[in-house]
A = this chain, B = another copy of it.
Amino acid sequence: MRFERYEYVTRLNRVKEAMHRRGIELLVIANPANMCYLTGYDGWSFYVPQVVLVELNEDHPVWIGRGMDANAARVTTTLKDDCIIPYPDEYVQSLVQHPMEFVADCIHTRNWDRKFIGVEMDAYYFTAQANESLRHGLPNARFIDARNLVNWVRLIKSPREIEYMQQASRILERVMNVAIEAVQPGVRQCDAAAEIYHAQIRGTEEFGGDYTAICPMLPTGVGTSTPHLTWTDEAFKPNETTIIELAAARHRYHAPMARTVHLGDPPQNLADTAEIVVEGIHDVLKFVEPGVTCEQVEAVWRKTIEKHGIVKNSRCGYAIGLNYPPDWGEHTISIRPGDKTILQPNTAFHFMPGIWMNDWGVEISEPVLVTDDGCEPFADVTRKLIVKDI
Residues of A within 8 A of B (CB): 42-47, 67-72, 74-76, 88-90, 92-93, 98, 119, 121-132, 145, 147, 188-191, 193-195, 197-203, 207-211, 214-215, 217, 222-223, 225-233, 313-315, 318, 325-327, 329, 331, 334, 336, 338, 354, 356, 358
Contact = CB atoms under 8 A, between A and B. Distances in A.
Given A88-B313, A89-B313, A128-B131, A44 B121 contact: no
Nearest to A327: B47
A318 B70 CA distance: 21
Contact of A126 (B72, B93, B128, B336): B128
Residue picked from A198, A203, A315, most chain B C-beta under 10 Å:
A198
Contacts of A198: 194-195, 197-198
A96 to B, nearest CB: 9
30 contacts: A43-B226, A43-B230, A44-B217, A47-B327, A68-B314, A68-B356, A69-B226, A72-B223, A75-B222, A89-B313, A93-B318, A93-B331, A121-B127, A121-B132, A122-B128, A126-B127, A128-B128, A128-B131, A129-B145, A129-B147, A190-B201, A190-B208, A190-B209, A191-B208, A194-B198, A194-B200, A195-B198, A197-B197, A197-B198, A208-B232
A240 to B, nearest CB: 14
A345 B214 CA distance: 35
Contacts of A132: 121
Contacts of A123: 127
Contacts of A208: 188-191, 231-233
A124 B214 CA distance: 16
A232 B207 CA distance: 10
A202 B211 contact: no
Contacts of A191: 202, 208
Contacts of A214: 44, 47
A51 B336 CA distance: 25
Given A47-B326, A131-B131, A190 B202 contact: yes
A202 B193 CA distance: 7
